Amino acid sequence: RKEVEQDPGPFNVPEGATVAFNCTYSNSASQSFFWYRQDCRKEPKLLMSVYSSGNEDGRFTAQLNRASQYISLLIRDSKLSDSATYLCVVNNRGSGSYDKVIFGPGTSLSVIP
Amino acid sequence: DVKVTQSSRYLVKRTGEKVFLECVQDMDHENMFWYRQDPGLGLRLIYFSYDVKMKEKGDIPEGYSVSREKKERFSLILESASTNQTSMYLCASSQAVLAGGWEFFGPGTRLTVL
């Protein structure tokens, strides 16, 4: 089983739609969680951190369920500019004294006019 | 603004050449990473470093080496480039993740090996 799994999509949704992405992780000791966004032919950029209490940033809401080892990202009122690949990222404590960052394969979103 | 810069956006090399990819960050981050990204395979970690002169293998280190002589600079070396190393190479840096740090990426180097 992969350490971080996402539905690859693509998700094709009309403008104004609400879309939800899911991500599961295998290591129950994972410590921090993020969503990144990657535009075509660009580098990944941090979209938002994910906290146990859930967090919201405008149209974006991230949720973490530690018991189910599940992370979600909800986008409301989709805009054309939301079209991108969304990467789920999990940080674990690696062997030794350093941390291990694991990227999911990404979910592709296309918002259609 | 954190800046991670990479020496080239596009690079074309021949099989067997030695290739250097340079990455510099300006935020005094402890951690630096090299990834490659290929269609359908996502981001794969090649090597990382948590301190000067310290390096650790990632998931796919074969055919690569790295150097971190200064905190701000992390170099990826292809000792003898091969066509299967044609890829997008992304450098990233971060503060310690347990301190809440996340990774900032450079713009990437698209390497083609002929």
For B21-49, the pLDDT digits (tens) are: 999 999 898 889 999 999 878 889 999 99
Task: Give the sign of the dihedral formed by CA B95, CA B101, CA B103, CA B106.
Answer: negative
Percent of chain A exceeding pLDDT 90 equals 71
pLDDT band at residue B101 under the 50/70/90 scheme: low
* Position B2 pLDDT exceeds 70: no
Residues in A closer than 8 angstroms to B31, CB to CB, are 98-99
User: Which pLDDT does position B53 carry in this prediction?
Assistant: 87
Within an 8 Å CB–CB cutoff, is residue A90 touching chain B? no
Phi, psi (deg, nearest 5) at residue B63: 90, 0
- The pLDDT assigned to B98 comes to 53
* Burial of A41 from C-beta contacts in 10 A (0-12 / 13-18 / 19+): exposed
Mean pLDDT for chain B overall: 91
With 90 as the cut, is the pLDDT of residue A83 above it?
yes
Q: Which residue of A has its CA nearest to B38?
A: A105
Structure tokens at A79: 């805009």
Contacts of B42 in chain A (CB under 8 A): 87, 103-106
Mean pLDDT of B3-14: 94
**CA–CA separation, A75 vs A38, rounded Å?**
15
Flag whether residue A35 sits within 8 Å of chain B, measured between CB atoms. no
pLDDT at site B105:
94
Q: Give the residue among B90, B80, B102, B75 at the shortest CA–CA distance from B2.
A: B102
**What integer pLDDT is reported at residue B102 of this predicted model?**
78
**Residue in A22, A25, A7 with CA at minimum distance from that of residue A100:** A25
Q: How many residues does chain B have?
A: 114
Contact A106 B42 (CB under 8 A): yes
Q: Tell me the average pLDDT across A21-42.
A: 91
